[in-house]
Amino acid sequence: MAKLFILLGSIVMALSVAIGAFGAHGLEPRLSERMMKNYQTGVQYHMIHGIGLLIVGIVALKLTSSSMLNGAGWSFLIGIILFSGSLYAMALTGITKLGAITPIGGLAFIVGWVLLGVAAVRGL
């Protein structure tokens, strides 16, 4: 699973740079200030949790793979899809009800960080 999370983290990071550049260069003149801030928040959390996926992969190379470590990686990926994805969709469509999905992604991020911490402490 270590290599899978490193691969996923690399793909997620590449996408975050592309999505961020698209927002900065293509969307800024087209979105309201509020929607642009939502979009930028999506990109910020996308990048941070892409790094989280890379960390999970690197830790998995050093520690015996565990269900908690795997859970952390999948939680980060789900969080990126739900949190960042909902913010991107909301900014691009103007459908603010999509913001109801965002906290579920945020919860997935929290779960991921807790699982990563517990897996690391147990593996030491």
How many CB atoms are located within 10 Å of the residue 36 CB? 17
State yes or no: pLDDT of 49 exceeds 70: yes
Classify residue 100 by burial, with Cβ atoms within 10 Å: 0-12, 13-18, 19+: exposed
| Sequence ranges of the domains in the chain | 2-123
Measured distance CA(119)–CA(9) in Å, rounded: 18
Q: What is the pLDDT of residue 124?
A: 58
Confidence band of 29 (pLDDT split at 50, 70, 90): confident
Q: What is the mean pLDDT of the chain?
A: 94
Q: What is the pLDDT of residue 69?
A: 94
Confidence band of 117 (pLDDT split at 50, 70, 90): very high
Whole-structure pTM value: 0.94
Nearest to 51 by CA among 113, 99, 114: 113
With a CB cutoff of 8 Å and minimum separation 6, the contacts of 4 are 57, 73
